[in-house]
Amino acid sequence: MFDWKWDFTIQILPRLLEATLNTLMAAGFGYLIALVVGLFFALAQRTPFRLLTVMVREFVEMIRSTPLILQIFFVFYVGPQFGVRLSPWTAGMTAIGLHYAAYLSEVYRAGLDSVPKGQWEACIALNLSVPRTYFKIIIPQAIPNIIPGLGNYLVGIFKDSPMLSVIGVTELFHVATAIGAETYRFLEPYTLVGAIFLAISLPAAMSIRRFEDWVRASLGMKKLYTKD
Amino acid sequence: MQEYAEFLMAYGPRFADGAVVTLQQAGLGTLLAVVVALTTGFMKISPILPVRWLGIAYIEVFRGTSLLVQLYWIFFVLPLFGLTLGKFTAGFLALGLNLGAYGAELVRGGVQSVPRGQYEAAIALGMGPFKRMRRIIFPQALLNMLPPWGNLLIELLKSTALVALISVSDLMFESKQINMTTFQSAQAFGTALIIYYVMARCIITPGMRWLERRLALKLSRG
């Protein structure tokens, strides 16, 4: 019943590890897009232009409440219909980047909103310019509240990257499926994929907590997880 | 516009069939997720160490790997151990087990957010541990954790789209099939996007608001 084959495991491991690099690259690159675009989404919702604010808000809500996998298909297949042909990588990065940008914009928004109103009022009273208000006063105080959210979504984007396999991005899950199809053995490839994911996401989550504490400590705040 | 109306006339029923399967998956997945979350959430705050470790292990394993990987594992690997599940069952099983692990953290957080004084008052009134949890702590915890549960249920609804990959004929699956036969990708996927959006905004969000109001009223805070 239980027939785990070690020689087969060793044989497929290099291919899976190579694909893991692709997964990490996809997650990292998608995350970079999300960090930047998410900031624009968040700031656009703070402008006084009512129409822009409402449109961005609705767009973010729409992205957040529909499945990522559907969005990946949408970006990949709708382009060619209008004459724009995207490679799986481009389409995948666009879709996953935009999806997480919507989530990160909420993190930014909550972080900025968490700074007490008095801080804003003090900036106005001291006649600080808008950039100075943001960069010197508000953002430094918002950062400790933003980091846990940013960290969670970094792990999240990594765990969602297998979805890119459906449009043929050759990441870990795609390679495991290919191995399964070639050899008719699914036990080892899929179990290894699970193990690799666990081996990366658990330490990642842990180091994010450490990083969070490090930031809090360097801003003179109380540490939450680690002791000195 | 005319074209899209014709498209809807031709394929509307298939979208509707898919939407029903999606709702079934989401409903069954939610039931299982709630049971799993309550069980493992309480295990994680149990005073008995091995029970706590078991709870933590479950939560970390299911949160640390992807839902897609878990779904494929349940569908393709479990049969090798002699446990063959239908695709529909495998679908909501993976959903419930995965989202339940996320829910467990909400249960734990909710219970721990109830002020210390409530425990002390319950002890002072001579309530045993079970009565204390059932009558005093849990109702208040439930009210605290309902808003994040709303977000989790939206996540669950979105995650149902993955069951299309083991060919459960849900909304995602139907829209993919329609796309393949018509090559009208914008219409096929766009319609599905809108249906998912409407489900989240018009069923889950108002439903959770209603639950919150009911519960707050019951705890006479409304």
pLDDT in tens, chain B (222 residues): 788 888 888 889 999 999 999 999 999 999 999 999 999 999 999 999 999 999 999 999 999 888 999 999 999 888 888 888 999 999 999 999 999 999 999 999 999 989 999 999 999 999 988 899 999 999 999 988 998 999 999 999 999 999 999 999 999 999 999 999 988 888 899 999 999 999 998 999 899 999 989 988 888 754
In chain A, where are the structural domains located? 6-218
Spatial separation of the C-alpha atoms in residues B145 and B113, rounded to whole Å: 9
Closest CB to B196 among A2, A65, A173: A65
Per residue in A61-101, pLDDT tens? 999 999 999 999 999 998 888 888 889 999 999 999 999 99
Nearest to B196 by CA among A65, A163, A72: A65
Q: Determine, for residues A194 and B162 on separate chains, whether the beta-carbon distance falls below 8 Å.
A: no
Closest CB to A197 among B65, B77, B161: B65
Q: Determine, for residues B160 and A67 on separate chains, whether the beta-carbon distance falls below 8 Å.
A: yes
Q: Which tokens belong to B161?
A: 């789209």
Per residue in A159-201, pLDDT tens? 999 999 999 898 999 999 999 999 988 888 999 999 999 999 9
Q: Enumerate residues 6+ apart whose C-beta is below 8 A from A126.
A: none
Spatial separation of the C-alpha atoms in residues B141 and B154, rounded to whole Å: 21
In chain B, where are the structural domains located? 2-218
pLDDT value, residue A228:
57
Q: Determine, for residues B66 and A66 on separate chains, whether the beta-carbon distance falls below 8 Å.
A: no
- CATH code that applies to domain A6-218: 1.10.3720.10
pTM: 0.87
Q: How many helices (H) and strands (E) does chain B have?
A: 10, 0
Q: Determine, for residues A77 and B193 on separate chains, whether the beta-carbon distance falls below 8 Å.
A: no
Q: Enumerate residues 6+ apart whose C-beta is below 8 A from A101.
A: A33, A34, A35, A36, A37, A38, A40, A41, A63
Residues from chain A contacting residue B193 (CB–CB below 8 Å): 62, 66, 70-71, 74
Cβ contacts below 8 Å, chain A against chain B, sum to 117
pLDDT value, residue B9:
85
Spatial separation of the C-alpha atoms in residues A208 and A157, rounded to whole Å: 14
Per residue in A92-133, pLDDT tens? 999 999 999 999 999 999 999 889 999 999 999 999 998 899
Domain B2-218 part of CATH 1.10.3720.10 = yes
Q: Is the pLDDT of residue A32 over 90?
A: yes
Q: How close, in Å, is residue B78 to chain A by CA atoms?
A: 8
| Residue given tokens 């079970």 in the structure block | B130
